[in-house]
Structure 1
Amino acid sequence: MTTARTSNWAAWAAPLLASAAVVGGVALWRARQRSQRRLDGVTCVITGASSGLGRGVALRLGAMGANVVVAARRTPLLEQLVDEIHACGGIALAVTTDVSRADDVQRLRDATVERFGRIDIWVNNAGLGAIGPFWDIPLEDHARLVDINLGGVIHGSHIALHQFRAQGRGTLVNVGSIESEVPLAYHASYAATKAAVLSLGRSLVQELRLAQLRDVHVATVMPWATDTPFDRHAANHSGHSVQLPLPDGAAKAVDRIVHACLHPQRRHLVGWKAKAAYAGHRLLPGLGDRTAARIEHALQIERAPAAAPTSGALHAPVVDGRAVEGHVRERMRLEANARDHDRAWDDAGAWGV
């Protein structure tokens, strides 16, 4: 009986594994083809470009030969990024921008058009987090988060679409989050802004269709938790260090954002974890909410080491967190090791060792 079952398993598993290998090979080939594609003369605007995903996308598009306009509040980091893009063969322009200010975003558009004559791709990436019980986060932090995460996307979308309508074509990419669809406890206002970003994109797609602007595209990219300097820039009023659930490497989200720039779809879920969370939430929303809440509470409140409250980079830029990767996974491993070490000593003490 066991032999028969093994044979039956092998009979269907072998073709399945072969198919998976073929699909994986095709996906790898396509990814390499995309990475080799040239974007000479294509002008791209990227907000939140001084670190994290924005920086990664800017470097990738620059390496593909695009004209890259990088925007953020930290001018020295933008200037350094421009030098790096030039070194890899791209053309770049830095424009200091606070996306919560419509005048700044309009100035970003004007500087881009003055330098390059048009805008082909606009990526609304700038965003921050606010972590902790909703009632423990100061109202001014909630309000500032909304100004940046939602107000900044509205400003960028409004100004970019005016430009695209005048040109007759263009691609708008808004960076949301898996929390656009699956909100988490202790991320209330962050999740609310990301849900709004997704709804904004859906509405804009409808309006563009009604206006018969077939060559103007809007895409929303929804990454899973990602290892960037997000944790160093977020407001944190949880009383504990910022924890992210099984974060992906930044390269995965960067790849998908670049893909959305070149092949826009209305919604891009990034990675299997985001897709699984979305599917589970759609299938069993009540169970999904309860499970997510328990996991987040254990991770962020029960197990994380203590940390002082901070408003992060909400109200002013911070020096820390300059790279694409944030080394969050490494920090969380060290914290877990320290917690296990302390627990072992406590257990030894309890036994009188």
Structure 2
Amino acid sequence: MNNIGTGKINKWTSTLISGTNKLTLKDLQDQVIVITGASSGIGLKTARMAAAKGAKVVAAARNEDALQELVEELKAKGHAATFVKADVGREEDVHAIAKTAIEEFGRFDTWVNNAGISVWGYAFDVTNEDIKRMVDTNFWGVVYGTQVAVKHFKERDVPGALINVGSLFGDRGTLVQSTYAPSKFAVHGWTESIRMELEKEQAPVSVTLIHPGRIDTPYNEHARSYLEKQPAHRGMIYPPEAVAEAILYAAEHPKRDMFIGSQAKALELLGTLLPRLTDRLMERIIYPTQHVERPSKPREESALYKAGYGMHERGTNVGWMRKRSLYVKACKHPILTTIAAGVGLTVWSLAKRKD
């Protein structure tokens, strides 16, 4: 009797710690994947990589010309794809994305909430109108996408993946993008909350939060700027394919979080363990690493209220351009990562003893 009880407790504890209902997701080659914000940057790269792996792609964004060009490109290579012109800040547009996917392919298996926009400027300089518009895209777009995706997965009763793209500034507040960060905090809080609710009811949904660091996309060019100098990332910058790699891995493997670049994970840890030190560091380094030495584009040219230019994966950022994220690759092999960490700790401990 005691052994049986212990077995049940161990099984329950294992399930509790793993934080998953052990869902099995389809291989990408057998999937229909919906990607918002697919006309440029991370979304564009993810669409191309997903199609190359055999997935059927449903691309959504506000730039219809770019979407049409993308779909024609994918079809010319023998891939199945369709597009939907949509503003994710409008609930009816998000429903139209789901409807198109179902009418075209009969279903969707992964939904990627990627669309996003930023405002560069100090918080008290930015108008409430601009903040609300940004939140419509960054937060409400994720809420609407989550609702239609979860409803679809539950109705089909077939495991599906919901992937929300957050930010390193969703884990830690910042300067200059101080109105953007709260919109991503909201995405992180929403994702964690609905993940727990869905796990509790054992719904057939894998929920992943993506934490990108500084990524080389046109995101800075699309942003509305209140700065005198043009917004841009400076320093260590990761390619959009590193984010796409993490997204597509999560589409096949249930993952709670995927951090893009050690900088994203390091900022989260530093902000948690040493918050005041992190405040001071960011007060010194953020502003000079968030612009380049040329005049900022006029606000009316931003993509806050209209579609930005499309079909560009990379932006105009400057600095150390990484070719990949080793941290993403490590996260895809957690056992090897744990072993490596254990070996590293052992070596460090032995070295300390010798000292």
Q: Shared fold by TM > 0.5? A: yes
Amino acid at match of 1:252: A
In the other structure, the counterpart of 1:275 is: 265
Name the CA distance, whole Å, in 2 between partners of 1:285 and 1:145. Answer: 27
How many Å apart are 1:330 and its aligned residue?
7.1
Equivalent in 39, 42, 45 of residue 31 of structure 2: 42
Name the CA distance, whole Å, in 2 between partners of 1:165 and 1:38. Answer: 19
Name the CA distance, whole Å, in 1 between partners of 2:303 and 2:46. Answer: 21
In the other structure, the counterpart of 2:281 is: 291
Where in structure 1 are there 5+ consecutive unaligned residues?
1-36, 333-353
- What is the TM-score when the length of structure 2 is the normalising length? 0.78
How many Å apart are 1:308 and its aligned residue?
4.7
The structure with higher relative contact order (CA 8 Å, sep 6+) is 2
Equivalent in 325, 329, 340 of residue 318 of structure 2: 329
Equivalent in 180, 184, 192 of residue 170 of structure 2: 180
Let me know the Cα RMSD of the aligned residues: 2.0
Residues 260-269 or 115-124, more deviating: 260-269
How many Å apart are 1:326 and its aligned residue?
1.4
Name the CA distance, whole Å, in 1 between partners of 2:264 and 2:122. Answer: 24
In the other structure, the counterpart of 2:44 is: 55
Identity of aligned residues (%): 35
Equivalent in 236, 246, 249 of residue 225 of structure 2: 236
- Are the aligned partners of 1:201 and 1:266 in contact in 2 as well (CA < 8 Å)? no
Amino acid at match of 1:195: F
Name the CA distance, whole Å, in 2 between partners of 1:48 and 1:297. Answer: 27
Higher helix share: 1
Q: Deviations over 1:130-181 (max 9, x none)?
A: 0111111122111100000001011100111110111122110000011110
Count of residues paired in the alignment: 293
Superposition pairs of residues 8-87 of structure 1, within 5 angstroms: 39-87=28-76
In the other structure, the counterpart of 1:116 is: 105
Q: Deviations over 1:214-237 (max 9, x none)?
A: x31110101101000001100110
Q: Deviations over 1:252-303 (max 9, x none)?
A: 11211211222231211111111222221122011112201210123347x7
How many Å apart are 1:186 and its aligned residue?
1.2
Equivalent in 124, 139, 142 of residue 131 of structure 2: 142
Q: Deviations over 1:59-116 (max 9, x none)?
A: 0010111110000011111011112222333200011111011111111111111111
- Are the aligned partners of 1:57 and 1:258 in contact in 2 as well (CA < 8 Å)? yes
In the other structure, the counterpart of 2:332 is: none
In the other structure, the counterpart of 1:95 is: 84
Q: Quick check: 1:165 aligned with 2:154?
A: yes
Give the secondary-structure state (helix, strand or coil) at the position aligned to 1:145: helix
Name the CA distance, whole Å, in 2 between partners of 1:308 and 1:80. Answer: 26
- Are the aligned partners of 1:85 and 1:91 in contact in 2 as well (CA < 8 Å)? yes
Name the CA distance, whole Å, in 2 between partners of 1:184 and 1:73. Answer: 28
In the other structure, the counterpart of 1:194 is: 184
Relative to structure 1, is the Cα distance of residues 256 and 224 closer, same or farther in structure 2, using a 3 angstrom cutoff?
A: same
How many Å apart are 1:329 and its aligned residue?
2.1
Q: Considering only CA atoms, is the larger Rg found in Structure 1 or Structure 2?
A: 1
Name the CA distance, whole Å, in 1 between partners of 2:244 and 2:66. Answer: 19
Where in structure 2 are there 5+ consecutive unaligned residues?
1-25, 322-355
- Are the aligned partners of 2:234 and 2:317 in contact in 1 as well (CA < 8 Å)? no
